[in-house]
Amino acid sequence: MEKLLEILEELAPDVDFKTCEDLVDGRHIDSLTILSLISEIEDAFDVQIPTVEIIPANFNSAKKIWELIERLEEDN
């Protein structure tokens, strides 16, 4: 989770990722940031994020993003 938080803070340093639960819905991160985030996650965690998983529910909080990463790691 620490690595994920580092990635998030690099992409959007003004957001409190530890408490924010509406990253997408609250427009704290935009689509370009999400694309960069996906690329960083895939490289850092050696996973592939399928297009069907790129939905707001999976990216609204660091916790939800981490749950997505864990699910994808289990599938590897």
**CATH number of the CATH domain containing 58:** 1.10.1200.10
d(CA 43, CA 60): 21
d(CA 29, CA 15): 9
Domain containing residue 66:
2-75
d(CA 65, CA 53): 10
Say how many domains are in the chain: 1
Q: Is the pLDDT of residue 76 over 90?
A: no
Tell me the two tokens of residue 35.
């694309």
Interval 35-58: pLDDT, tens: 999 999 999 999 999 999 999 999
